[in-house]
Structure 1
Amino acid sequence: MDPTRLTEPTDGAEQGSDVVLKSLRPELEKVLWRGSELGRTEHRTVSTGFAPLDQELPGGGWPCGAVTEILQPHPALAEWRLLAPALRALSLAKRPLWLVGAPMIPFCPGLRDAGIDENQLIRVDAQAPAQRLWATEQAVKATGLGAVLAWLPQVRSEQIRRLQSCAAAADMPVFLMRAVTAHQDSSAAPLRVEVRLEDAWTLQVRILKRRGPSHDGALSLPSIPQRLAPIVAHRFHRPTKVSEWKPTLRVGAAPASISAPGLGAEGVNADHARCEQHVG
């Protein structure tokens, strides 16, 4: 037998596979796709606000009902700039944004400039990794939220699998911020992206995992704040170097916070709309 007949599909074979796909039960058709095409999603998506990135993601945006990992070389480096357009849309729809373990207090003037309603922020200050994980899972299981953003540098693969299982029933995107060194770890998250600063005003985004074919290369996404765009000159574009993020436990006293109603885990507190108002 000529082995090439087994490896070279014919037009008839292509048509036959189409017939097979169309004959599948609807629930199976939603989770199967050709390897050369972007996968399907049974949940809605939220536009990233960056057209080139939307074009590369299944459903054209950040997936709801799924965990998305944001990997970067340093915490609080670029996640807000990457997620700001989507968070703006969610906050304007009066959907609360749940933050777990944010490394810095959100800066209200910057949020307002990005169009994000700071009154929709709920910040959970959890010190220990187990507390952060518990608070994240409770938020994912909650209803009525716009999105969950959790900084979990020490999360393990089996814990991500559990969060993904919970997220499958949620009508919102769930973002996990991790160190770029975790890119080789196995993960049940359907979408994993790496974000760096290409220069002071440009994000460099690599899609490490998605439902569909692998993505080669990087996307350059301008991220100049809307109010600064008219006055930022090209000469201010500077390469930016940052050190690699090595996950460690945060040391030091936690900022003042308010006990969160309904959160029974010891050591977990929440602030509603508490933002940094100035730069010291």
Structure 2
Amino acid sequence: MKKVLLGAIVLAAGSFAAWHFLAKPQAQSNTVATTSNTVIASTTGEQKTLRIALEGKYPPFEYINEQNQLVGFNVDLANALCKEMKVRCEFTRFDFDNLIPSLNENKADAIVSSLSITDEREKLVQFTDVYSKVPGAYVAEKKAKLIWPVITAERIKGSSIGVVEKTTFDDYLSNEMDSKKVNIKRFKSADDMMAALNKGEINLVFDDSAVLGQFLGKPQNGERFEMVGNRIDSAKWLGRGEAIALRKEDGELRDQFNIALRKIIANGQHKEMGYKYFTLRIL
């Protein structure tokens, strides 16, 4: 049974290829509905519904706030694009490693979840233009005094590095960091990884520098932790930027997303959304 919050009404939709049409359009504003593993947020009352897949555990890109609302840069971005495309956004959460399978199983129409463009992923899906591109970075406790300009396995020998599993950051560590010298500890989500860092269960984390910058922006974190070493901008392992993923056959939908994305970049909406969540430019 679905639990409806904030007076939201979840409307059933019939499926026609990538587009979904509601029997009775109903305007909704910042509404959230949840089941045990799904959060749906809707902002417009348009008839066409576009199903957006995301993880929802990657602040400030996407997360559940204290009011149990799905929020973050990716949510704002998707809503802005849906508005330009004159469709209704419907968000569904999946585990990160199940995003692409769910898309290709027609459980969603697009993935807006900071998915990096890589050669391996392009074998499974197609991507829109890039909407964010930031390097990877390390964060550790200040008391560790990791003062090296470049982090290497030899320099942090015996340390534990946290990373979100099956991400491009995991790919980088798996291929560039000697696992015989350091312990790479993989987590299901960024939330789990940062919780482990706070508890002292790991020595460092490796993730998106924008995400880590937001983490350090909180006074209690900034006093205790810091970015260390060099920023990593490896297209080979970290991809060529983050973009919206679509099924390979949905070329028309990709083109519509690109038109909308270029428009919100040109009119400043994208930059404004970035300033809302990040301390550095993401594109």
TM over 0.5, yes or no? no
Structure in which a larger fraction of residues adopt strand: 2
Looking at CA atoms only, which structure, 1 or 2, has the larger radius of gyration? 1
With structure 2 as the length reference, what TM-score do the two structures score? Answer: 0.26
With structure 1 as the length reference, what TM-score do the two structures score? Answer: 0.26
